[in-house]
Structure 1
Amino acid sequence: MVILSKSLYWPQDVSQKLEYRLGEKPLHEYLKANAAAFPNKVAYSFYGNDLTWSQMDEYVDRFASFLGEEGVSKGDCVALFLQNCPQYIIAHYGIQRLGGTVVPLNPMYKQAELEYLLNEAKVKGILSGQELYGQLQGACQNISSLEFIVTTNYADFLPEHPTLPMPEELKIEKKLIAETKDFASILKEKQPYQGHVEVDLENDIGLMVFTSGTTGRPKAAMLPFKSALFKTAATVQANNVLKEDKSLAVAPLCHIAGMVMGVNTPVYSGCTSVLLTRFDPQAAVDAIEKYEVTVWYSVAPMNVALLHTPGIENRNLCSLRVNMATSFGIPVTQQLAEQWKKLTKGCLMYEAAYGLSETHTCDTFMPADKIKWGSCGIPTFETEIKIIDFETGEQVPAGEKGEIALKNPGVFKGYLNRPDATAETLRDGWVYTGDIGSLDEDGYLYFHGRLKEMIKCSGYSVFPEDVEVLMNEHPGILQSAAIGVPDPVRGESVKMFVVLKPGYQGKVTEEEMIEWAKEKMAAYKYPRSIEFIDQLPATSSGKVLRRLLKEPQGEEV
């Protein structure tokens, strides 16, 4: 058992007691408080369109008013299916202002995936990017719970003369879709919401994130309002994010880490956020230089891309103070951090955190004055982490590997309508992560891989059974099995083993099947390689043994 003394490893300039800036209240009330305290301060800057806290609060109230008229009330699910943009943040807090539940959807999802997820969550309404509506339209024909759809064009929130290079989806000409409501019109026509919904921080569900859990197709992890408040407050305090800071938000807002840093941290801290629809090296460099960004959350390949940007040595990035980064495909090493520090003339770069969707991520943080390279840092505020022996279920000594289990006020309430999966993962308040890790004598956590079969592709969780269900819709597939294989850039990629139906052998190629899958699945999920085989290894009951596909030399069944 690891017995820790926080005085040994806790950073000297960070209080060990979590102190909520405005008290324990939902984050949408923090946003309203920001509007009252500093109404004219820029909250979000979107390619040169500066939105103040007063404007953001009014937009949130106007969208909440529309939602109320559509019958949305506490506990109702509303989905967000769009790229990073101010509309995403406005809608997120507009839903929560009514006590509703935000259901983020990855904009890379395709029709079959959307149909499954929207039915699972029983969504009442959806906000979609205009360019994504084609995928959504077919799925919605089979969603019985759906009552309204809102679409938006990103250009509605762009300035006349953008200050940063823009991706193509921001240049799409606006068109009104007859069967949907227009987001910009809603904000123009509706009066601000005047009501107030009391929220039970501990029990009311503010966010429902789809995750693979430990088995089966994606499940909806139910996160109460307290999860977002607690994890955001802990992240802000541990990393010393200040109201005076300017952050750069490029990670997908639909992803839990991007949500913490792009949706929640500016609202909690009151800092200004420069928001980009997606990562682009030139846009990121321009944003840091032009807006004097001080805080950035990145993944390591982003930093490497900037280091290799032509002419980067002549750019002024010295405003950067701290860069929390996640190892992904490329690890956050001391060498990389030193290169980054030299380029930026002093910016401190370190591993951001360990976490998962079921805990609203950020269960650890790296002490800025006691960095241990290769680790994920130490348990954050009010957090316990233990390493469990795979066989005995007992806690193991420091340095030994086992399953990571953790407990804190941010953990989820369970999986929607999945009591068995909930019982497997959530036990007496502890989340059994299915990840392999170890703790050293100082309490630093090290991540060693996944005990469960989930595949991690470009930061996204992919469960084999989900890919297999989608692949099996191909008319030529009799059986399929998905595994993760190492990928130097993406971390892992999906590889499929396929048993063809009689009559299809020799008539369909691996390349053709990959192209078919690309049309059916999100870009991070579709298989990058396919191998045709005669028979899948399985138990006598028919359960496919994916581990034997990874390790053909494994034990016999």
Structure 2
Amino acid sequence: MIGPIHSIEGVLYTPEQEARRYLETGAWMDSTVGDMLRQTARRVPNKAALITDAGSISFQQLNDQSDCLAAALLDLGLRPADRAIFQVGNNIETALTVIACFKAGIVPVCAIPQYREVEIGQLARLSQARGYFVQSDSPGSFDMVPFAQQILADHPHIEHLVFSGSRAPEHSNTIAALIQMHNVASARQRLADIKLSPADVLSFQLSGGTTGVPKIIPRFHGEYLAHATFCARHYEMDENSVFLWALPLMHNAGQLYALMPTLTLGRSTVLMPNVDIARMLTLVETYRVTHTASIGPIAPQIMAYSDLHKHDLSSLKLFYTMTRADMLEKKINVPCSNLFGITEGLLLGSPPSASTAIRHGTNGSSGCPFDEIKVLVPESETQVSDGEMGELCFRGPSSVRAYYMAPEANATAYTSDGYCRTGDIVTAHVIDGRTYYRFEGRFRDNVNRGGEKIGCEEVEAYVSKHSSVLDAKLIAMPDPVYGEKGCVFVILQPGATAPTVTELSCFLVEQGLAKFKCPERIEVVDAFPITRVGKVDKPAMKKHISALLENETVEGS
């Protein structure tokens, strides 16, 4: 079937004629994720699919156990096209659960563990989720169990709470127990009636944005499989590659770089529960890792790691990172390249065989031959002149056609000819007859803290609720580890004293804001600088804080 079998109201699907063309040309895979795993499990049944410190799982085991879990989730009452929020860690249970949902047609809402009441509550309402998967033994001091139970109480449309991990409450549903409810034969009999199409929604991914809770981006079985595989091939990966991933698996990057290519290529992937540089480099040695990536603070931490000389990194063919590939390559003596990725459906990068001019001087090109890219004058449809900076806009077989239930965002997200506006500023560079793109900055108002985009308007609204604050403006300040952190400029109430960073953070977390969104510096001002047309001049604030940081570095040296 070309079109979706289980349509979701509010999702804009690809027209049938265009979907047919994508399938016929190979721009989409004519498969579902479940069928792709079944095919790979038949080809390499005993090969390790996922490797963790807690154990590994073969492709056959991954296929069998996810079948059993998928059947149990259906028995529980979840149905194809139902949405389920995921707040889970990096482990084999997470992989089994998300694949089981893919097989059953249940649509994961791919949240991250750091989200709290504000984000999860709004995602629950918008997605109308009926399921909620939660890590019961999450690291750190925050207890996810009572948090999840309160979310369930506040959102009665969430009918099924399922825990992963070892500290689930008594008599609750757990992944481990659900897997045991079926044997492989009964599970496959239960799943036999579940028919899915490559055009069915696979997952609800989240876009970073400027207005608070991320927008929901529907991704689809056939396009997502192809999107990930084009990227993996672009990085010169194959069945013999070994990949290492230390960031959230349920993030779009985790799905595209780590999970999907594992299922399509039949390669092995090493999963880490969190970022630990010494352990990461030890795993590279132990499993002869060939490819790994840094979306956020990993690369700077490696460059600051003093025991690098103790590790054998000779198996690594490529380390790709958001920025500073040149400095990382010099440090680790491994080919490194800059990347660019956006959940809306574009991945740029360059392979280890590319020249240093490409790998270090640009963020690469798309590995998908069907992607179309323009660089436009911001807020226009005029293409910039050669070499000039402009907004990166694209369309292709994986580009989002519309955000889910977000008419206001959709009204400004596209050009008249269907190109998705990224809000990111790039320059185009032609090298050896091919065009590559270099990221220059962002047009929209957010902070990119280690790969997680923080909407400035949302944080400003919450900071302004503090009793001492009259008004607030959040800007991005440079940071050597995370790339950017949030600095909030505040105008105080008359006679008030500014809160400390710790006090403000506690206040914001109590309000339900995720901790990673809390500003990490406060600057008190009498008034915000303004432009000649009377708008708040955030570039002036950024320039001011950058100068302050430079002076503090000089004074401290």
1:115 aligns with 2:121: yes
CA apart distance, 1:549: 4.8
1:400 aligns with 2:385: no
What aligned pairs does 1:27-66 form with structure 2 within 5 A after superposition?
27-47=33-53, 49-66=55-72
Matching residue of 2:480 = 488
Identity over aligned pairs, percent:
23
CA apart distance, 1:305: 3.7
Whole-Å separation in 2 of the counterparts to 1:305 and 1:479? 35
Residue 73 to residue 362, structure 1, CA distance change in 2 (3 Å): same
Query: Deviation digits for residues 358-389 of structure 1, max 9, x if unmatched?
Result: 11x41444472334222011233211111101
Matching residue of 1:12 = none
Matching residue of 2:325 = 332
Native 8 Å contact 1:43 1:266 kept in 2:
yes
Residue 468 to residue 122, structure 1, CA distance change in 2 (3 Å): farther
Matching residue of 1:423 = 411
What aligned pairs does 1:189-268 form with structure 2 within 5 A after superposition?
189-191=181-183, 192-194=187-189, 195-196=191-192, 197-202=194-199, 204-213=200-209, 215=211, 217-268=213-264
Whole-Å separation in 2 of the counterparts to 1:285 and 1:269? 24
1:516 aligns with 2:510: no
CA apart distance, 1:508: 4.5
The residue type equivalent to 2:69 in the other structure is F
From 146, 149, 152, the equivalent of 1:137 is 149
Q: Give the number of aligned pairs.
A: 503
Residue 267 to residue 438, structure 1, CA distance change in 2 (3 Å): same
From 351, 355, 363, the equivalent of 2:341 is 355
Residue 527 to residue 18, structure 1, CA distance change in 2 (3 Å): farther
What aligned pairs does 1:295-374 form with structure 2 within 5 A after superposition?
295-299=291-295, 301-303=297-299, 305-306=301-302, 309-327=305-323, 331-333=324-326, 335-341=327-333, 347-351=334-338, 353-359=339-345, 361-366=346-351, 368-371=353-356, 372=358, 373-374=360-361
Matching residue of 1:435 = 424
1:462 aligns with 2:462: no
Whole-Å separation in 1 of the counterparts to 2:115 and 2:278? 27
1:386 aligns with 2:371: no
CA apart distance, 1:209: 1.8
The residue type equivalent to 1:448 in the other structure is E
The residue type equivalent to 1:516 in the other structure is F
Residue 291 to residue 508, structure 1, CA distance change in 2 (3 Å): closer
CA apart distance, 1:77: 0.9
Listed as ranges, the gaps of 5+ residues in structure 1 are 1-16, 154-173, 342-346
The residue type equivalent to 1:445 in the other structure is Y
Give the aligned CA root-mean-square deviation in angstroms.
Answer: 3.1
Residue 149 to residue 179, structure 1, CA distance change in 2 (3 Å): farther
Query: Deviation digits for residues 444-485 of structure 1, max 9, x if unmatched?
Result: 101110001121111101111222344345455454332222
CA apart distance, 1:294: 1.9
Residue 544 to residue 69, structure 1, CA distance change in 2 (3 Å): farther
Whole-Å separation in 2 of the counterparts to 1:85 and 1:469? 36
Whole-Å separation in 2 of the counterparts to 1:310 and 1:534? 43
Whole-Å separation in 2 of the counterparts to 1:95 and 1:278? 24
What aligned pairs does 1:151-170 form with structure 2 within 5 A after superposition?
151-153=163-165
Residue 76 to residue 429, structure 1, CA distance change in 2 (3 Å): farther
Native 8 Å contact 2:297 2:482 kept in 1:
no
Matching residue of 1:7 = none
Query: Deviation digits for residues 184-219 of structure 1, max 9, x if unmatched?
Result: 1111223424325333434x3212122234655421
Moved more, 474-483 or 57-66: 474-483
Native 8 Å contact 1:73 1:98 kept in 2:
yes
What aligned pairs does 1:9-20 form with structure 2 within 5 A after superposition?
none
CA apart distance, 1:434: 0.7
Whole-Å separation in 2 of the counterparts to 1:42 and 1:439? 40
Residue 311 to residue 550, structure 1, CA distance change in 2 (3 Å): closer
1:376 aligns with 2:372: no
Whole-Å separation in 2 of the counterparts to 1:507 and 1:368? 53
Whole-Å separation in 2 of the counterparts to 1:51 and 1:527? 40
Whole-Å separation in 1 of the counterparts to 2:172 and 2:530? 47
CA apart distance, 1:95: 1.1
From 398, 401, 404, the equivalent of 1:413 is 401
The residue type equivalent to 1:221 in the other structure is I
Whole-Å separation in 2 of the counterparts to 1:27 and 1:187? 19
What aligned pairs does 1:47-86 form with structure 2 within 5 A after superposition?
47=53, 49-86=55-92
Residue 310 to residue 340, structure 1, CA distance change in 2 (3 Å): closer
Residue 355 to residue 299, structure 1, CA distance change in 2 (3 Å): closer
Whole-Å separation in 2 of the counterparts to 1:35 and 1:507? 59
Native 8 Å contact 1:366 1:376 kept in 2:
no
Whole-Å separation in 2 of the counterparts to 1:18 and 1:491? 42
From 147, 152, 161, the equivalent of 2:159 is 147
SS in 2 for 1:43: strand
Query: Deviation digits for residues 280-315 of structure 1, max 9, x if unmatched?
Result: 112112211112222222358534544554543243
The residue type equivalent to 1:394 in the other structure is T
Matching residue of 1:281 = 277
The residue type equivalent to 1:368 in the other structure is S
Query: Deviation digits for residues 123-162 of structure 1, max 9, x if unmatched?
Result: 1111110032233333332223201111111xxxxxxxxx
Residue 478 to residue 137, structure 1, CA distance change in 2 (3 Å): farther
What aligned pairs does 1:532-547 form with structure 2 within 5 A after superposition?
532-533=524-525, 546=538
From 173, 179, 186, the equivalent of 2:178 is 186
Native 8 Å contact 2:529 2:540 kept in 1:
yes
Native 8 Å contact 1:281 1:309 kept in 2:
yes
Native 8 Å contact 2:348 2:363 kept in 1:
no
Native 8 Å contact 1:514 1:529 kept in 2:
no
Whole-Å separation in 2 of the counterparts to 1:18 and 1:252? 33
SS in 1 for 2:516: coil
SS in 1 for 2:253: helix
CA apart distance, 1:392: 4.8
Residue 308 to residue 455, structure 1, CA distance change in 2 (3 Å): closer
Listed as ranges, the gaps of 5+ residues in structure 2 are 1-22, 139-143, 546-557
Query: Deviation digits for residues 146-180 of structure 1, max 9, x if unmatched?
Result: 01111111xxxxxxxxxxxxxxxxxxxx3331473
From 407, 421, 442, the equivalent of 1:450 is 442
